[in-house]
Structure 1
Amino acid sequence: MILVTAATAPVGRSIVEQLTAAGRPVRALTREPAKAGLPEAAELVAGDLNDPVSVRQALTGVSTVFLLAVVPGFTPNFLAAAKEAGVRRIVFQSSASVDDLAGTQPHQVAAFHHDVEQAIRNSGLEFTFLRLELSAANALQWAFDVPAQVKAGDVVRGPYAAAAGAPIHPADFAAIAIEALTDDAHAGRTYTVTGPESLTHEEQITLLGEAIGRPLRYEEMSPEAAREAMGPFAPADVLLDDWARHLDRPAPVTDTILELTGHPGRSFAQWASDHRADFTA
C-alpha cells in the first residue's frame, strides 16, 4: 500500500489519480475526505500530519509514503509511527534550496526542508528526496492568485516581468514520485526537479492567454508593492530574492523527468491548456 499525504494538493492528487488508473492500491490522507473529489478506487483517510492518531491509522499496512510537509514539528511523531507500521521508504518533496554543505541554510524554506531531510535520514528508513527548484514551483500563480486576476480582467500584476522560471506540470512531478515510490533503485537517491523550459513571468502570462483565448498582459509591480500584495502564506522575501536572481539568466532546467519516467516534461503551454478551467469564470 502507498500512502499519499497532502492528497488534494496538485501533485498529491495527480499521484493518486495515476496510481488508481494503473490499478495500484493507494491510500490518500486528507482533512476532508467527503470534499476531496479523488478517484473512488482510492482509500481515503481523514487526518493530517499534526494529528498523531490519524497518522498512525493512515500508516497501517503501508510500505511507501509520498510526503509533502507543510506543518512544523510533525517529524518525530510521524517517523516514529512510520517505523512502527513497518514503512520501508519515504519519498519526500523537498526544496532544491537545501545546501548540503552549509552550516546555516540560506533561508527559512531551505532550513525547514533540510531539517525534515535530516530527520528522515536519522530515522533509518529508506528515502528518496525530490528537491524542487524554487523557480520551478509556479509560485507566481498562487502567491498573486493569478486565476482570480485573470477572471477579473486581462491584466496580471506581479513583480519582475523578466524573472525566469521553469514551472513543472504537477502530473510530471507525480510521475517522478511514483517511480521513486515503486522502484527500489531510487532508494537513497536525491534528485533535483524542474520543468522542461525556462520562461519569464511575462512569457508565462502570454502563453496562459493563448490557452484561454484572451490577450493577457503582464503589468510589473515594484518589489515593495509585490511584497504587500502577496498572499499571506507566501514566503515573500524568499520568492522575491529568487526572482531577482533570475532577471538576467535562465532558470535552471534538469532532465529528471526524462531520466526517471522516460518521457519529456510537459510544457507550460500544456499546463495552461490543462488548467484552462481554473482561469475562466
Structure 2
Amino acid sequence: MTTLVTGATGNTGRHIVSELARRGERVRALTRNPSATTGMFPAGVEVVAGTHTAPETLGAVLEGADRLHITFTAGLAEVGTELIRRAVDAGVRRITMVWGGTVGPVEESLADSGVEWTRLEPQEFMSNALTWVESIRTEGVVREPYDFPSALVHEADIAAVAAVALLEDGHAGRAYNLTGPQSLTPSERIAILSRAIARDIAFVPITHEQAIDRLMAAGVSRADAEYVIGWYAAPSEDSTTVVDTVERVTGRAARTFAQWVAEHAHRFQDSPVDRVAAT
C-alpha cells in the first residue's frame, strides 16, 4: 500500500514521511521542489512534484495511493473539498488531516467523504520558536506581545500520531487534540533556550498591533495576522491544557520542549562568520 504525504517538506510533513518510511511503508512525498529534498528523506521514498493546493493537477500523483495525509496550509480552504473528492475518486480509503484551527468546510468535507478519516488538532507547534532565531542570534532578545502559557506540541509527535492513524485500525472518525507534556509561557521557553545555548536572552514585550504589523511585513494577510495574534491574546482552554493523547495513541510519552531545543539549539547560536562580522 502507498501513502501520499502532502506538504512533505513542511514542519509535520517531513516527519510523517520519515516515520512511515521507518515503519517500512511505501511513501510518496509531494513537494513543489523535489530537488530541495536531497538527503532529507530515507532511501526508497518516492518524491513527486506538485502541491495539494492545485488538486486538478494531481491525477497521476493520486493514482495508486491508498492513504493520504493532508496538512492545512494557505490556499487549502479554497480547494480542500476538491482535493478530498479527487482523492476518494482515485481510490484513497484512509485520510489524516492536520486541521486549520476550526472545523470549517474542508474538515466537514473530510468527515462526509465516506472514507476512514482522522483529524489532528495540534496546539501550538514547538517549531514556532524558530521565528526567534534571528533576534536571538543578532540581539539576544525575543519580542512577543503576550506571555501566556501554551501546551506546545513537538511536530514529530504530530507525525507519530498521524502514522498510527494511517496504518492502524481504530482511529477512524476521531478528532485528536494534541499537546506536549507541559504548558509553557514564552518566558519559560526562553529560559530553556538560554540554558541550552549558554547565553542570556531577554524577553521584550511589544504591542498587539506591532505583532500584527510584524506578521504582515512577512507576507501574512491582515485577517490572518489578527487571527493569529488574537489567539495569543486570548488563549483557549484547549491551547493551555495538557492532554495525554500522544501517549495514548503512540504508546510513548510526548516530547518535551527541552528535547526540541536540544535538537535545534545550533540554529540559535552565532556562527563563526557571525562573530567575525560583529567585530
Alignment equivalent of 1:242, drawn from 217, 231, 234: 231
- 2:121 alignment partner AA: R
Q: Could you say what secondary structure the match of 2:240 adopts?
A: coil
1:140 shift after superposition: 4.8
Separation in 1 of the partners of 2:225 and 2:245? 28
Structure 2 residue 55 is matched with structure 1 residue 66: no
- 2:159 alignment partner AA: A
- Pairing of 1:248-259 with structure 2 (within 5 A): 251-259=240-248
Partner of 1:120: 110
Cα shift readout 1:118-153 (whole Å, capped 9, x = no counterpart): 1112222221111123xx2347536xx211212212
Cα shift readout 1:238-262 (whole Å, capped 9, x = no counterpart): 2222222249998121111111011
Cα shift readout 1:71-120 (whole Å, capped 9, x = no counterpart): 2322243123212221101101015x5xxxxxxxxxxxx2xx52111111
Structure 2 residue 102 is matched with structure 1 residue 92: no
Partner of 2:24: 23
Separation in 1 of the partners of 2:91 and 2:239? 43
1:179 shift after superposition: 0.6
Separation in 1 of the partners of 2:259 and 2:266? 13
**Structure 2 portions without partners, runs of 5+:** 272-279
Cα shift readout 1:198-230 (whole Å, capped 9, x = no counterpart): 000111111112222212121111212222122
Partner of 1:154: 140
Q: Is the contact made by 2:98 and 2:120 (CA closer than 8 Å) also made in structure 1?
A: yes
Separation in 2 of the partners of 1:67 and 1:194? 19
Separation in 1 of the partners of 2:194 and 2:49? 38
Deviation larger for 184-193 or 33-42: 33-42
Partner of 2:213: 228
Partner of 1:14: 15
- 1:205 alignment partner AA: I
Partner of 1:201: 186
Alignment equivalent of 1:182, drawn from 135, 154, 167: 167
TM-score (norm 2): 0.86
1:54 shift after superposition: 3.8
Alignment equivalent of 2:49, drawn from 38, 46, 50: 46
Aligned length: 261
Deviation larger for 264-273 or 217-226: 217-226
Identity of aligned residues (%): 34
Indicate the RMSD between aligned Cα atoms, in angstroms. 2.2
